[in-house]
Amino acid sequence: MQEILAKLGIEKVNLGAFNGQWLGSGDELTSVSPIDGSTIATVKQCTVDEYDQVVSAAQKSFEKWRMTPAPIRGETVRQLGNALREYKTELGALVTIEMGKIRAEGEGEVQEMIDICDFAVGLSRQLYGLTMHSERPMHRMYEQYHPLGVVGIISAFNFPVAVWSWNGALAAACGDASLWKPSSKTPLTAIACTKIAEKVCRDTGVDPAIFSLVIGPGRSVGEKLINDRRIPLVSATGSCKMGYRIGQVVGERLGRTILELGGNNAIVVTPNADLEMAMRAIMFGAVGTAGQRCTSTRRVIVHDSIRDQLVEKLIAAYKQIPIGNPLSEGTLMGPLIDKSAVTDFTNAINAVKSEGGENLHGGEVLDGSDYPGGCYVTPCIAAAKNEFQIVQQETFAPILYVINYNQFEDALRMHNDVPQGLSSAIFSTDMLETEQFLAHSGSDCGIANVNIGTSGAEIGGAFGGEKETGGGRESGSDAWKAYMRRQTNTINWGTTLPLAQGIKFGE
């Protein structure tokens, strides 16, 4: 581990703020590995005064960066992608050490960063506007997009590096600076990423404050960020509760938000499904990252006629899941992020039972020498009803609720009858069922899939959801437009001044 930390520039004690220079004099934050409960390193957090220094530097860097031609901005992002390729193994390992996801998922997250950098490089030559015909003679109308400003990025522990890149790479290509506040549970991965970006900027002659960092408590630094009028856009990933707070505060100052919040994702399995394929998708969606993805599969809505068969397949598969050290080859499920998450896991299982549900498999807390740190559990499959209060909530843990249906219309109703609306899927070979699932009256989620699971979105599509999931979109497609300000332009190339709508004024 020490070799990995050294290559990424992580020291025993690290500074938690960056504005072109490293600073940090606040309380010390300890990063603890969920693998075994050991201390990885500590971080001297950003104070409120230091926060102001960071934002001031980011604002100055933006004023210069916005005037850099977009293709040249894209070259810096290209170099960032290349640097991430160089550090993929070590950064992926640090994600595993600090967050607990298995090694393949840690490296896969870094690959997402590389992919979004590639996307942003192409985008830097495609920040297209639009031309329109004017109703006035000798007039031309068009729209263009300008850089917006300093973009605040608030990321969660479960994707400690990818979410920053989704926002930061696009923001940089669009001519914005970014200010990253990562989760206090995963500060070291943020420091490592910022150091990689710093080196790239220095090598390309760019002010490295375009990728600024503040690590500090939400009650001080976080509140300062969301109230800061110098930050026109806050992109936040986290819980619905957090999203309500950020949306309210930023909205009151008429700022913008991109909110990617909780998911309560369901897979509908019909009698026309390929059960083997459905089982594999459900297992990955529910167990991957120990159920700590916003796109994790939380509910399976399965037809009565195949319910027992599917459950039997799932239990057999769950029994074969290797649980343990996520750095070890062959492990498919590592620990939860901390003991608080384990408590939420056990409380949710007890709530299912109290509401009349049944634990069909798993749900144990694992301890002993093979599971140090106290954060390991066995993934749970529970029989439940959609209207259970606990089912209506998002428990960030590997709990899968199995819910029966008889009529397809009932399956769609139950699918949509939760407060969240992020990701969804249907398994069926019947075109009428799949098309109904994708229709206006079908899934109400931001992501709707057919014969693939709820988890594992590609960077090319806009990512985000509806309802309490926040309505924001990150990553691909035209999500870049949220990071820019839109402007309509009209040019009169004649010698008279006709008014719109044929208005005559003063004639």
State pLDDT tens for residues 171-191.
Answer: 999 999 999 999 999 999 999
**499/507 Cα distance (integer angstroms):** 12
Select which of 50, 90, 260, 394 is catalytic.
260
Mode of pairing for the β-strands spanning 462-463 and 474-475 = antiparallel
Tell me the pLDDT of the chain averaged across its residues.
97
Q: Supply the pLDDT for residue 428.
A: 98
The pLDDT of residue 456 is 84
Q: How far apart are CA 42 and CA 217, in angstroms?
A: 14
The answer, yes or no, to whether residue 457 has pLDDT greater than 90, is: no
Whether the model clears a pTM of 0.85, i.e. scores above it, the answer is yes
Residue where the block lists tokens 């195949």: 306
Identity of the amino acid at 15 = L
**Exposed / middle / buried, residue 127 (Cβ in 10 Å: 0-12, 13-18, 19+):** buried
- Residue-wise pLDDT tens digits, 53-112: 999 999 999 999 999 999 999 999 999 999 999 999 999 999 999 999 999 999 999 999
Contact 264, 420 (CB under 8 A): yes
Quick check: 472 and 294 in contact, CB under 8 A?
Answer: no
Q: Give the H/E segment covering residue 41.
A: strand 39-44
Tokens standing for residue 482: 């949220």
> What's phi and psi for 198, nearest 5 deg?
-60, -45
89 vs 429: CA distance, rounded Å: 39
In one letter, which amino acid is 277? M
Q: Is 370 helix (H, G, I), strand (E, B) or coil?
A: coil
Query: Taking Cα atoms as reference points, which of 195, 159, 158 lies closest to residue 10?
Result: 195
Tokens at residue 159, please?
């994707």
- Check residue 43 and give its pLDDT: 98
Question: What is the reported pLDDT for 501?
Answer: 92
Tell me: pLDDT of 115 over 90: yes
Average pLDDT over residues 119-147: 97
Measured CA distances, 413 to 135, 179, 410, 442 (Å): 47, 41, 5, 9
Convert 168-186 to b/e letters by CB count within 10 Å (16 or more is b).
bbbbbbbbbbbbbbbbbbb
DSSP count for the chain of H helices, then E strands:
14, 26
Question: Using one digit for the tens of pLDDT, what is the confidence trace for 479-506?
Answer: 999 999 999 999 999 999 999 998 988 8
d(CA 34, CA 99): 7
Mean pLDDT for the stretch of residues 224-248: 97
Q: What is the pLDDT of residue 506?
A: 80
Buried b (16+ CB within 10 A) or exposed e, 57-86: bbbbbbeebbebebeebbebbbbbbebbee
DSSP codes joined into one string, 90-105? HHHHHHHHHH---HHH
Stretch 295-308: mean pLDDT: 98
DSSP secondary-structure letter at 149? -
Tokens standing for residue 294: 């916003």
Q: Span 310-322, mean pLDDT?
A: 98
Residue 507 has pLDDT above 80, yes or no: no
The DSSP call for residue 45 is P
Q: Which helix (H) or strand (E) holds 466?
A: strand 466-467
Q: Which of 201, 294, 375, 445 is catalytic?
A: 294
Q: Return the pLDDT at 374.
A: 86
For residue 375, is pLDDT > 70? yes
- Dump pLDDT digits (tens) for 415-451: 999 999 999 999 999 999 999 999 999 999 999 999 9
As a whole number of angstroms, the distance between CA 161 and CA 122 comes to 21
Please determine, for residue 195, whether its predicted confidence score (pLDDT) is greater than 80. yes
| Catalytic residue status for 294 | yes
**117 is an active site residue:** no
Q: Could you give the angle at the alpha carbon of 55 between the alpha carbons of 11 and 470, nearest 5°? A: 95
